[in-house]
Structure formats: structure tokens, C-alpha cells
């Protein structure tokens, strides 16, 4: 609208965007209605009932229970509609579909480091294919950041010490803004980048151009060997540590009687702070790897662990 | 009652002279003036920071100040405006002055604690000003960890000490108001005859006393973490940065109701007076203030929808946030209905009141946008949020404050103010405000994040509009500063009740005597009895004469 | 023994109103104190749920005997305080002063023991941010435990010191004959404050000292 120098509405570049905009339009309509209703009432009353003489005495009107109930119930009903609609949308944006392409992102003051599973890595840019759900696994090396792509209508805080996830499906090729949307220090407004959406064949060509370390999973497997994980974590449960095959998504029984679902955060904690949660039936003897492996390395190891499905040789790309 | 020239009659302003009689006063009316001067000072300091921000934002590049300076400017703007202007302004200036008068008491329950409140406010302000002079703080007024507790190189500890100390000022004010309203109402002043201004300050005081201690402890923990490297919020040491967000917002969300409820109380006084009509739905307006205070404590997580908190927490907080909108809507409808068949006079205070209703409606409705989970994901931490809260804090709260100052100016000073200039200023403020902040809704939805020193060039046109509006708004704010000071000497003397308003404060001379009422009044009318304007509001019984 | 007439401050209509207002004021103030300590209790609960083993291990490093003695000392001081209030209500000025003195002495004993404990922790390198050392893998959660230990007991100690100062002022006023059977509100209200500070400790003691301890 109004050309590139006075944009008034953001592009819709994801499958989610039109749905968010639909709720926005509803909210705009409700707001316009009530704003106009009140403003016009005020103007009309101020004119129609303007004071003509100092001696006039308006009638005694105390209130009306019926009106109070009416203008309580109607806003309540409207806000409930908004709540349910917004909650449903949120639910959709919260849980990625199972076939999403997983890409790891590590944020640090003041840049975005992107790691594609095939091995390619980027700084402040993210190439993705159109028409394919993409799930980002995000973590920060320092303070809280936030991954925000206005054209996709998605946003998620990126935290130190744990993972958050974000998913979207880009609907059309193009280049879109990436902003950090959680104040993170001096160059917060410089922590911007580009999301480059390509047609799937072009993307396949781009990503096949290979990174330096091979695929994320292969890099993870290498770390799994060199850090000595394989000596305790055997393919069966007979080792000093539990087997990691098929672990992701499984319910794990812990020593203190509680159980937990093994997600990426659990895996990360188990590598960096293994004594925090001990699996039932095992000894607290796992070395602490905090300081010995970078956030990128942890992500690679997790990618490898995810690939350990019960069917031998299968590469589980979630 | 006589309308004699103030100088020939003893009242609270001329009862004693000299700096000591002001700095050691326990008279709630003088303390209100001490606050008036201090909050005005901080308002213009905060406004100065905002001016620099808006000038910088005229261009996409960072060409006025460096990034670090910009970050300090928006932080100091937020800290100054929130803690040293918005939270104290109406309660400590108008509340302090009016509550004893409105309930027919001689003073607040604890006058010396009232003075202590002011000194705590000043000491807190001095700490914060020192922090600013020493180079400022750059964490944002929200002090999110671990940036504030570990990474920032700015004067975090000094600033949080300032906020901590000022917090006790709030707590003591709230305590004073609650005790006073409960125990010192004049005979005949039952709870349901109280002016709604008093009800709203009662509700605000509940938030003061229950919420402020929590931010005190949250900021203390940040300071301890910074000074001793504790690790409570540091993930490297097993801490959780989100714990800070929960603790911080547990107070800071109710704090925004501290900032608006008193303003709503002012509007509830202005609308009936300038329509000469009883307020529509008194009970509903009174209870809606309490409902806002209670519900306001249950919604803090709506600042954290994308923080990594669980989806179920998000849903609960979104639901409760929808509920807290309803009592505010009820007030807007009741105020508007009061105008119906009234006798409406558009004096300056009424212009502010009507502007409040319109702008608060817009600000409150945009609150629904951010409370709706699916939309908040997009607009969180963008200029949309900035526009939303400025519609409430500036478009509503500041306008209510100015409306109240104008309305009660004759009572406080014994002088009128220049009406034409006042109406002009109100109009300039209204127009300047909208031009400043409406474009920011659009900017926010387009995706411009908050706290950005530089921005993509396509956002420039809207930023220029916003900065242009800000310059108009600034003119609007400077005008009252000038003409109100001018009026102290040159405006006509005001009588006891120049607006023919209802309310006990108008049943005593302007300015009031030190003990407020020569004789304790006995209330015989309900609130806002404008339908029987010619009948007396109070009677006096000789045997109930006030302690002389 | 002087029997001062019931005077009241000028803003009140009578001494009944003044008493009502003062009493409500103290309860409201204690409400704010609940919220103040409540924030720390909340943080403590959150981390204890997250790190039960770390908290238990760290708690076992606290001196349970000193903690128990301190609890007994404080409970006794609440008793002497209550006796002081009672003495005030029946106009026994001399007893008021004696019991206030006893309360102060017990309060000082409490603080003495507390600071001894602090010093011990300093020697054992258990003060966070000050060369903190803790054997084993639970060092992070132990440090968080001790952060809360010092913050909470420290804030409690500050309140004790304020309480002792207020009690001292009360003794001075009692000596000057300010109190009588018809006016002893300050004693009553500071008694409330003292009991509150005691109750905070009664919550702190098990939460800090008794985590994961079993008899025998």
C-alpha cells in the first residue's frame, strides 16, 4: 500500500500469516466499532445536551441493571470469542508438524548462527525452501534474544541454558526481515538478518553445496565418539549408561521416582549437567561436559541421538 | 461561607512561612504541593529523554547518539516516567490533597508517615538521578536477566536502589490511604456515599501494598546477583532467568493499574460535575475499581507468552486478561451514559475527561490485541505494544492528571486559570498525542521492534509522523506549566465552589484552612447529588465541632 | 505510676478512632511484609522443587543445633513480648520495661548466634560469591541454596535489628511515663511486629535447616 516508502501492512509470507491477519481484522472491526460508538456518543451527547443555562437541572437517572448486564455480557462474549480464536491459533503456532525440517540456531550478542542439518552454516541469514514446514531449535550463548520474522508472523524468545522452538511454513519465495525482538544489549538493533525463501529445487541446490563438516548428524556422531559417549552408552541397556536408541520422545523413569519426557532440553541438560537427573537404575558417574562442548556441538550430538532409531541404518530426520 | 480574598484569611498556604515550614510540614495539602513540584520535575526529565529518542528516530540510521546512549535514554525514560511520574502523580498529588477533604477529615491518618513518604520518594529519585549522571543504565526499565544481572556495564545497582527506596514511598502512601478511608470518614459519609475518586484510590492502595514489596525483593535479588555473583538468575550456575520475569511482572502488571485507576477516579469526578448529573451506575463503577485491582494480580504472564513459558500458562493468562478488560469497559459505558440528558459544559477539565474516555477506549481495546495469544506472537515487543501502553499512560493517565489539576486548581490555590488557553492546550495535547502514537500501531504490526536505535528505511515515514506529533505534544505540555504558574498571581480569585460541584472539598473555602473544615460536616446527600444542586450537601451540629 | 489522660493526635476525633487507625495501619503494614518475604519464599520453593538433592545436601551443612536454639530463643522472646503487652494493658509500667528488656536480650542472643553461624559459613567457604566451594556435582544448586539462605535470614536479621531498635525506643518512652492502661498502643503494635518477625523465622527454620534430615 502506498508504495515502498509508506508501507502500511506487512507481507503475508507464511501459512500462518493469513490466519493471524484474519484475527487482526476481527479485532480491528471490534475496536473500530466500539471506538466509534463511544466517540460518536460523546460528541452527540456533548452537543445535544450542552448547557444552555446555569439553572437547568438534569433528570435524576441512577442507572439501569438491565443495561449493566447487557454491556457486561456483550463485551464478555466478544472477548471470549477473541480468546478462543487466539488460543487456537497459538496452539497451531506452538507445536510443529512432524515432518518439519529441523534447523539449529544459536544466538549470541549480536548475531544469529544458523546450522543446517546437511552441514551448511550461515551467519545472520537463513535459507529455507518454500512450502515445507521448518522447525528451528533455538538457544542463546549469553542473554535472552528473540527470533522474529514479521512476514511469517512468528516470534519466540531465545534463552541461554535451554532450547526453545519455533516453526513456520513459508508460502512464497522472497527475502524477509529477521529481527531480534528482545532487548539484548548495545547492538540489539543491529542483530538483524534475512530469511531467504527459495523454491524447493533452488534450495536443494543451495543446501547441497555442502558445508565444512558434513551433515549435523555426522558431526554429532564424530563428537559422540571423540568425547567417549560411546564407551558407556551402548546400543543396548547393558552399558554403564542407558541406551540412547529411540530415546527422543520416550518417557524416562528417573531415580527420584519421577518420570520425564525426553525432549531436546532433557538431552542438553543430560550432557551438560548429568547429575541433575539420574535415570532409574544407573549410577551418577557420567562426566560433566559443561565447558567441554559448545552449544553447536550439543546440537550436533542431539541431532545424532535423534537419528538412533530402532531400525538400524535409518536416519530419523524429524 | 465567604468568598473573601485569600490574602486576608488564614489558610493552609499562609498559615506559616519559610522553607522549614514546608519541608517539615505534616499538612497533607502542603505535602501534595511538595509532590506536585517533584513529579513535574521528573515528568520533564523523562520528557527530555523522550525528546532525544524521537529526534534520533527521525532517521533510520543512528546519527544523533551512539547505540549505548540510545539504550540508556529509553531505559531512563521508562524508569523516570513509570516510577517517578506515573505511579506517584495522581495519588500523591491529588489523592494526598483531596482524600481527607473528600471524606470530611482534618488530615490523613498518619501525617508524619505521609511526609516520610515524600522524603523516600526524593531519596529514591536522587539515587536514580545519580545513576543517570554517572552514565545511566541500559537494561530497559524491565531489567531482564541475565542481561541486567551479569552482562550490562551500566549503573544497574544504583538505579534499582532508587526504585527500591521509592517503592517504600508508594507502600506508605497506600497504607495511609487505606487506614484513613476506613477509619476517618465524617458522620454520614458511608462507603456508598464516597466519591468514586476515593474508591479508586482505595483500590489503587490495595495494589500499592500487595504488589510493591514484590518488586522490591525482585530488584534486591538482581542487585545481590550483580554484586555477589549469586547465580539465582544465571543459567550457567543453575539459575533461571525466567524466574525474574515472573517476579518482576507480578508487580509490574498491577503497577499499570496503579497508573490508571486514580485517573479513572478523576474522570468519575469530572463527568458528573460537568454534566451536572449523578453518575450512571455508581455501584458498578465502584466495584469495577476493586475488580480491576484483584484481577490485575492474576494476569502477569501475558507479558511472557513467547518467553518459553508453557502453552497452558499462556492460555490461562490470556483468558484472565480478557476478563480484566470487562470492568474497564463497564466504566466507559457508565461515564458515557452519564452524559445522556445531562447539562454538559466543555470547560478544560471536561475536555480532558472526554479525551480520556476516547483514548482510553482505544488503548484498552488494543489491549485485547496483545492479550490474544495468536496476535501477540506477532506484535509482542514491537511498537504496537508501545502504542498500546502510551494510549493508556499518556493519552489517558496524563490527561486525567492534567484534567484533575485544572479542576481542583481553584481549590488548591484560590485562583482560577486562563480558560481559553487551557482549552487550547487540551486540544493541542489531544492532537499531538494521536499524531505521535497512532502511527506506532502501524509500525508495530509492520514489525518494527521496540528499543531499536536504527531501523530499516521503509519505516521512516511513520517514524517522522510520530516525531512530528511528539513536538506538538511537547508544546501542549509546556503551555500549562507556564499559564498555571502565571495564574498564581494574575488570575482572578476563585470562590469556594466555582464549578458548583458536589463533594465535601467544595464545602470549605478555597484555599482550605489548615484543618480543612472549621466544623466537622455531617453528610446528608448521596454522592454527585446534582439533581438537587440547590439543596445543602452537609449540615453542621455544634456538639460535633472539630478539635480546635 | 503516672496515669496520663487519653490524648490523641489532632487529626483524629478521639482516642478510639486513633487506636483503630493505628491498629489497622500495623496490620496493613504486616501485609506488605508478607508480600516482601513471600517473593523470596516463592523463589526458594521454585528452586527447591527443581533441585531437591542439591538443597538437601546444602541444608545438611547448616548447624541444626544453633538453628534449634535460635528458634527456642525467638519463641521465648515472643512470650516475653506478649507479657510486656499484657503488663501494659494492666498499667504495670515497671513490668513493661522489664519484659521489653528481656525481649531485647533474647533478640540480641538470637542475632549473636546468627552471626556466629554466618562466620562459620564464611570459614567453611559457603558464602556465595566469596570463594564458594562445595564438593561434588551439586555445587550449583548448593550455591543457589546458600544464596537464598543468606538473603532470607539476612533480611530476617535486618527486621530483628529494626525490631530491637523499636523496643529500645519503647523502653525510653515507658521510662518517661508515656504509657498507661488507657494508652499502650505502641507496645501492642510493636508486639504485633515482633510476633510477625518470629513467625517468619518459624517458616524459615524448617525450610532451610530441616531439608532432608531424618532422625537417627
pLDDT in tens, B168-207: 999 999 999 999 999 999 999 999 999 999 999 999 999 9
C5: helix, coil or strand? coil
Task: Indicate the residue among A186, A212, A238 that finishes a domain.
Answer: A212
Chain C residues with CB under 8 Å of A276 CB are 51
CA distance C66 to C89: 35
Q: How far is C26 from chain A (nearest CA, A)?
A: 38
For A295, the enclosing helix (H) or strand (E) is helix A295-306
Q: Are B162 and B128 in contact (CB under 8 A)?
A: yes
Structure confidence at residue A1 (pLDDT): 47
- In chain B, the residue whose alpha carbon lies closest to the alpha carbon of A189 is B452
Subunit contact B214:C36, Cβ cutoff 8 A: yes
Cell numbers for B286: 465502584
pLDDT greater than 90 at residue A180 = yes
Chain B residues with CB under 8 Å of C43 CB are 221, 232, 243, 247
Give me the domains of chain B, ranges plus CATH numbers: 25-540 (1.20.210.10)
Chain C residues with CB under 8 Å of B220 CB are 151
Task: Measure CB to CB from residue B238 to each of C32, C129, C141 and give the nearest one.
Answer: C141
Could you tell me if A177 and A229 lie in one domain? Answer: no
Neighbours of B164 (CB within 10 A): 20
Going by the DSSP 8-state scheme, the letter that residue B513 receives in this structure is P
Structure confidence at residue C205 (pLDDT): 95
Pairing state between β A101-108 and A133-140: parallel
CATH number for the domain harbouring residue C57: 1.20.120.80
pLDDT in tens, B441-494: 999 999 999 999 999 999 999 999 999 999 999 999 999 999 999 999 999 999
pLDDT in tens, C70-103: 999 999 999 999 999 999 999 899 999 999 999 9
Evaluate whether residue A3 is within a structural domain.
Answer: no
Structure confidence at residue C141 (pLDDT): 87
CA distance A9 to B441: 11
Evaluate whether residue C3 is within a structural domain.
Answer: no
User: Band of the pLDDT at C214, cuts 50, 70, 90?
Assistant: low
Range of the domain at C177: 36-215
Structure confidence at residue A210 (pLDDT): 59
pLDDT in tens, A259-288: 889 999 999 989 988 877 888 888 888 888
The neighbouring-strand residues paired with A113 are: A106, A123
Could you tell me if A108 and A237 lie in one domain? Answer: no
Cell numbers for B300: 502477569
Chain B residues with CB under 8 Å of C51 CB are 238
Interface partners of C (3+ CB pairs, < 8 Å)? A, B
Range of the domain at A254: 216-315
The neighbouring-strand residues paired with B74 are: none
Could you tell me if A84 and A156 lie in one domain? Answer: yes
Q: Is the dihedral of CA B510, B511, B513, B516 positive or negative?
A: positive
Subunit contact C43:B243, Cβ cutoff 8 A: yes
What ipTM does this complex have? 0.92
Structure confidence at residue A256 (pLDDT): 76
Q: Are B455 and B60 in contact (CB under 8 A)?
A: yes
Domain count, chain A: 2
User: Band of the pLDDT at A78, cuts 50, 70, 90?
Assistant: very high
pLDDT in tens, B231-254: 889 888 888 999 999 999 999 999
Task: Indicate the residue among A192, A212, A232 that finishes a domain.
Answer: A212
For A297, the enclosing helix (H) or strand (E) is helix A295-306
Evaluate whether residue A4 is within a structural domain.
Answer: no
User: Band of the pLDDT at A191, cuts 50, 70, 90?
Assistant: very high
Q: How far is A8 from chain B (nearest CA, A)?
A: 6
The residues on C that touch B, with CB distances below 8 Å, are 9-13, 17, 20-21, 24-25, 28-29, 31-33, 35-40, 42-43, 46-47, 50-51, 54, 128-130, 140-141, 143-144, 147-148, 151
CA distance B408 to B33: 13
Closest CA to B326 of A78, A77, A84, A76: A76
Chain B residues with CB under 8 Å of C9 CB are 111
Could you tell me if A88 and A181 lie in one domain? Answer: yes
Evaluate whether residue A60 is within a structural domain.
Answer: no
pLDDT greater than 80 at residue B274 = yes
Could you tell me if A101 and A200 lie in one domain? Answer: yes
Structure confidence at residue A313 (pLDDT): 43
Could you tell me if A198 and A233 lie in one domain? Answer: no
Subunit contact A288:C53, Cβ cutoff 8 A: no
Q: Is the dihedral of CA A100, A101, A104, A109 positive or negative?
A: negative
pLDDT in tens, B116-130: 999 999 999 999 999
Subunit contact B450:A83, Cβ cutoff 8 A: no
Interface of B with C in 97-136 (CB under 8 A): 100, 105-111
Reading across the β-sheet that carries A121-123, which strands appear in turn? A121-123, A111-115, A101-108, A133-140, A164-169
CA distance B178 to B95: 12
CA distance B319 to C150: 38
Q: How far is A193 from chain B (nearest CA, A)?
A: 11
The set of residues, in sequence order, having a beta carbon less than 8 Å from that of C175 and lying 6+ positions away, is C97
Evaluate whether residue C209 is within a structural domain.
Answer: yes
User: Band of the pLDDT at A213, cuts 50, 70, 90?
Assistant: low
What is the distance, to the nearest Å, from the Cα of residue B94 to the centroid of all Cα atoms in its chain? 10
Structure confidence at residue B7 (pLDDT): 54
Domain count, chain C: 1
Could you tell me if A32 and A96 lie in one domain? Answer: yes
Could you tell me if A201 and A294 lie in one domain? Answer: no
Q: Which of A301-315, B507-521, C128-142 has the lowest mean pLDDT?
A: A301-315
Region C43-71: mean pLDDT is: 91
Angle at B389 between CA B387 and CA B393, to 5 degrees: 115
Chain A residues with CB under 8 Å of C138 CB are 275
Q: Are C182 and C6 in contact (CB under 8 A)?
A: yes
Q: What is the mean pLDDT of chain A?
A: 90
If one compares C180 and A125, the residue with the highest pLDDT of the two is: A125
Region C26-42: mean pLDDT is: 93
Could you tell me if A302 and A164 lie in one domain? Answer: no
Going by the DSSP 8-state scheme, the letter that residue B537 receives in this structure is S
Chain C residues with CB under 8 Å of A271 CB are none
Looking at chain B, the whole-number percentage of residues with pLDDT higher than 70 is 97
Subunit contact A273:C140, Cβ cutoff 8 A: yes
Could you tell me if A116 and A189 lie in one domain? Answer: yes
pLDDT greater than 80 at residue B72 = yes
Subunit contact B339:A184, Cβ cutoff 8 A: no
Structure confidence at residue B182 (pLDDT): 96
- Mutation target vs A (from C137, C141, C143; most A CBs, 10 A cutoff): C137
Could you tell me if A180 and A224 lie in one domain? Answer: no
Task: Measure CB to CB from residue A183 to each of B140, B276, B375 and give the nearest one.
Answer: B140
Structure confidence at residue A255 (pLDDT): 81
Evaluate whether residue A59 is within a structural domain.
Answer: no
Interface of A with C in 234-273 (CB under 8 A): 256, 273
Evaluate whether residue C198 is within a structural domain.
Answer: yes
Give phi and psi for B521, each to the nearest 5.
-75, 155
Could you tell me if A140 and A15 lie in one domain? Answer: yes
CATH number for the domain harbouring residue A242: 1.10.760.10
Evaluate whether residue A50 is within a structural domain.
Answer: no
Task: Indicate the residue among A193, A212, A231 that finishes a domain.
Answer: A212
CA distance C185 to C182: 9
pLDDT greater than 70 at residue C3 = no
Subunit contact A273:C138, Cβ cutoff 8 A: no
Cell numbers for C208: 532451610
CATH number for the domain harbouring residue A32: 2.60.40.420
- Long-range contacts of residues A246-251, Cβ cutoff 8 Å, at least 24 apart: A246/A308, A246/A309, A246/A310, A247/A305, A247/A308, A248/A305, A248/A306, A248/A316, A248/A318
What is the distance, to the nearest Å, from the Cα of residue A307 to the centroid of all Cα atoms in its chain? 22
pLDDT greater than 90 at residue C149 = yes
Evaluate whether residue C16 is within a structural domain.
Answer: no
Amino acid at each position: 500500500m502506498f508504495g515502498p516508502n509508506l508501507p502500511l501492512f506487512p507481507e503475508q509470507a507464511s501459512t500462518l500469516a493469513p490466519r493471524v491477519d484474519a484475527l487482526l481484522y476481527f479485532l480491528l472491526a471490534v475496536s473500530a466499532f466500539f471506538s466509534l460508538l463511544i466517540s460518536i456518543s460523546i460528541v452527540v451527547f456533548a452537543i445535544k445536551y450542552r448547557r444552555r443555562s446555569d439553572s437547568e437541572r438534569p433528570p435524576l437517572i441512577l442507572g439501569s441493571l438491565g443495561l449493566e448486564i447487557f454491556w457486561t455480557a456483550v463485551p464478555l462474549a466478544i472477548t471470549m470469542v477473541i480468546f478462543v480464536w487466539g488460543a487456537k491459533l497459538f496452539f497451531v503456532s506452538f507445536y510443529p508438524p512432524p515432518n518439519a525440517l529441523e534447523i539449529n540456531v544459536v544466538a549470541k550478542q549480536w548475531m544469529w548462527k544458523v546450522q543446517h542439518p546437511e552441514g551448511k552454516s550461515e551467519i545472520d541469514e537463513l535459507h529455507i525452501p518454500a512450502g515445507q514446514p521448518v522447525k528451528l531449535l533455538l538457544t542463546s550463548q549469553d542473554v535472552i534474544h528473540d527470533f522474529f520474522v514479521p512476514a511469517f508472523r512468528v516470534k519466540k524468545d531465545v534463552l541461554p541454558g535451554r532450547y526453545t522452538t519455533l516453526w513456520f511454513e513459508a508460502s512464497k519465495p522472497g527475502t524477509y526481515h529477521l529481527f531480534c525482538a528482545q532487548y539484548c544489549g548495545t547492538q540489539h538493533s543491529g542483530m538483524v538478518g534475512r530469511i531467504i525463501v527459495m523454491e524447493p529445487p533452488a534450495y536443494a541446490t543451495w543446501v547441497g553445496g555442502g558445508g565444512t563438516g558434513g551433515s549435523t548428524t555426522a558431526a554429532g556422531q564424530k563428537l559422540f565418539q571423540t568425547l567417549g559417549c560411546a564407551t558407556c552408552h551402548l546400543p543396548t541397556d547393558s552399558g554403564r549408561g542407558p541406551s540412547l536408541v529411540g530415546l527422543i520422545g520416550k518417557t524416562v523413569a528417573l531415580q527420584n521416582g519421577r518420570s520425564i519426557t525426553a525432549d531436546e532440553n532433557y538431552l542438553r541438560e543430560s550432557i551438560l549437567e548429568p547429575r541433575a537427573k539420574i535415570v532409574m537404575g544407573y549410577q551418577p558417574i557420567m562426566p560433566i561436559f559443561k565447558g567441554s562442548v559448545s552449544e553447536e556441538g550439543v546440537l550436533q550430538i542431539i541431532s545424532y541421538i535423534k537419528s538412533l532409531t530402532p531400525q538400524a541404518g535409518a536416519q530419523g530426520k524429524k | 461561607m465567604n468568598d473573601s480574598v485569600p490574602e486576608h484569611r488564614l489558610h493552609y498556604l499562609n498559615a506559616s512561612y519559610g522553607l522549614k515550614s514546608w519541608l517539615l510540614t505534616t499538612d497533607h495539602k502542603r505535602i501534595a504541593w511538595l509532590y506536585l513540584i517533584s513529579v513535574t520535575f521528573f515528568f520533564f526529565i523523562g520528557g527530555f529523554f523522550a525528546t532525544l529518542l524521537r529526534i534520533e528516530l527521525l532517521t533510520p540510521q543512528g546519527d544523533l547518539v551512539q547505540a549505548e546512549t540510545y539504550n540508556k535514554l529509553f531505559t531512563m525514560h521508562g524508569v523516570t516516567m513509570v516510577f517517578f511520574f506515573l505511579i506517584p502523580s495522581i495519588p500523591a498529588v491529588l489523592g494526598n490533597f483531596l482524600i481527607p477533604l473528600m471524606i470530611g477529615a482534618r488530615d490523613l491518618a498518619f501525617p508524619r508517615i505521609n511526609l516520610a513518604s515524600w522524603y523516600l520518594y526524593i531519596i529514591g529519585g536522587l539515587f536514580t538521578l545519580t545513576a543517570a549522571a554517572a552514565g545511566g543504565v541500559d537494561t530497559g526499565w524491565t531489567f531482564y536477566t541475565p542481561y541486567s544481572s551479569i552482562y550490562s556495564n551500566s549503573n544497574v545497582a544504583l538505579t534499582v536502589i532508587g526504585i527500591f527506596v521509592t517503592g517504600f514511598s508508594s507502600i506508605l502512601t497506600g497504607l495511609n490511604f487505606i487506614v484513613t478511608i476506613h477509619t476517618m470518614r465524617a458522620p454520614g459519609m458511608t462507603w456508598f456515599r464516597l466519591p468514586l475518586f476515593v474508591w479508586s484510590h482505595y483500590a489503587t492502595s490495595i495494589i500499592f501494598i500487595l504488589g510493591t514489596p514484590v518488586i522490591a525483593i525482585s530488584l534486591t535479588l538482581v542487585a545481590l546477583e550483580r554484586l555477589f555473583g549469586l547465580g539465582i538468575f544465571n543459567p550457567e550456575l543453575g539459575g533461571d532467568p525466567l524466574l525474574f520475569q515472573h517476579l518482576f511482572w507480578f508487580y509490574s502488571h498491577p503497577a499499570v493499574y496503579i497508573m490508571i485507576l486514580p485517573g479513572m477516579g478523576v474522570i468519575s469526578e469530572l463527568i458528573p460535575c460537568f454534566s451536572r448529573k449523578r453518575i450512571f451506575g455508581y455501584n458498578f463503577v465502584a466495584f469495577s475499581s476493586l475488580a480491576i485491582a484483584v484481577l490485575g494480580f492474576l494476569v502477569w504472564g501475558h507479558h511472557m507468552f513467547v518467553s518459553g513459558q508453557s502453552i497452558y500458562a499462556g492460555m490461562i493468562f490470556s483468558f484472565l486478561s480478557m476478563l480484566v478488560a470487562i470492568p474497564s469497559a463497564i466504566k466507559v459505558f457508565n461515564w458515557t451514559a452519564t452524559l445522556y440528558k445531562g447539562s454538559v459544559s466543555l470547560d478544560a477539565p471536561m475536555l480532558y475527561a472526554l479525551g480520556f474516555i476516547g483514548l482510553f477506549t482505544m488503548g484498552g481495546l488494543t489491549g485485547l490485541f496483545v492479550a490474544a495469544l495468536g496476535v501477540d506472537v506477532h506484535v509482542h515487543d514491537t511498537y504496537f505494544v508501545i502504542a498500546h501502553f502510551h494510549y493508556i499512560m499518556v493519552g489517558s493517565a496524563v490527561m486525567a492528571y492534567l484534567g484533575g489539576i485544572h479542576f481542583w486548581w481553584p481549590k488548591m490555590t484560590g485562583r482560577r486559570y486562563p480558560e481559553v488557553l487551557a482549552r487550547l492546550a487540551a486540544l493541542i495535547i489531544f492532537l499531538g498525542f494521536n499524531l505521535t502514537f497512532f502511527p506506532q500501531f502501524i509500525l508495530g504490526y509492520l514489525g518494527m521492534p521496540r528499543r531499536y536505535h536504527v531501523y530499516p528505511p521503509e519505516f521512516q515515514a511513520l517514524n517522522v509522523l510520530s516525531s512530528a506529533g511528539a513536538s506538538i505534544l511537547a508544546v501542549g505540555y509546556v503551555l500549562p506549566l507556564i499559564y498555571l504558574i502565571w495564574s498564581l498571581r494574575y488570575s482572578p480569585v476563585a470562590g469556594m465552589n466555582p464549578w458548583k460541584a458536589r463533594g465535601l472539598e467544595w464545602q470549605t473555602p478555597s484555599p482550605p484552612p489548615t484543618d480543612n473544615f472549621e466544623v466537622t460536616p455531617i453528610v446528608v446527600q448521596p454522592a454527585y447529588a446534582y439533581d438537587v444542586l440547590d439543596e445543602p450537601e452537609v449540615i453542621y451540629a455544634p456538639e460535633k465541632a472539630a478539635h480546635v | 505510676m503516672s496515669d496520663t489522660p487519653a490524648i490523641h493526635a489532632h487529626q483524629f476525633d478521639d482516642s478510639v478512632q486513633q487506636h483503630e487507625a493505628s491498629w489497622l495501619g500495623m496490620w496493613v503494614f504486616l501485609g506488605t511484609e508478607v508480600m516482601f518475604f513471600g517473593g523470596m519464599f516463592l523463589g526458594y520453593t521454585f528452586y527447591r522443587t527443581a533441585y531437591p538433592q542439591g538443597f538437601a545436601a546444602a541444608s545438611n551443612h547448616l548447624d541444626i543445633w544453633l538453628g534449634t536454639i535460635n528458634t527456642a530463643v525467638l519463641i521465648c522472646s515472643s512470650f516475653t513480648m506478649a507479657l510486656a503487652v499484657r503488663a501494659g494493658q494492666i498499667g504495670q509500667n515497671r513490668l513493661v520495661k522489664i519484659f521489653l528488656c528481656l525481649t531485647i536480650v533474647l533478640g540480641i542472643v538470637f542475632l549473636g548466634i546468627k552471626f556466629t553461624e554466618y562466620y562459620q559459613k564464611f570459614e567453611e567457604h559457603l558464602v556465595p560469591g566469596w570463594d564458594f566451594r562445595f564438593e561434588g556435582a551439586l555445587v550449583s544448586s548448593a550455591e543457589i541454596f546458600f544464596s537464598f539462605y543468606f538473603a532470607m535470614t539476612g533480611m530476617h536479621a535486618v527486621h530483628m535489628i529494626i525490631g530491637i531498635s523499636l523496643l529500645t525506643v519503647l523502653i525510653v518512652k515507658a521510662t518517661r511515663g508515656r504509657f498507661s492502661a488507657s494508652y499502650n498502643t505502641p507496645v501492642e503494635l510493636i508486639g504485633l511486629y515482633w510476633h510477625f518477625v518470629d513467625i517468619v523465622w518459624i517458616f524459615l527454620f524448617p525450610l532451610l535447616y530441616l531439608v532432608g534430615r531424618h532422625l537417627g
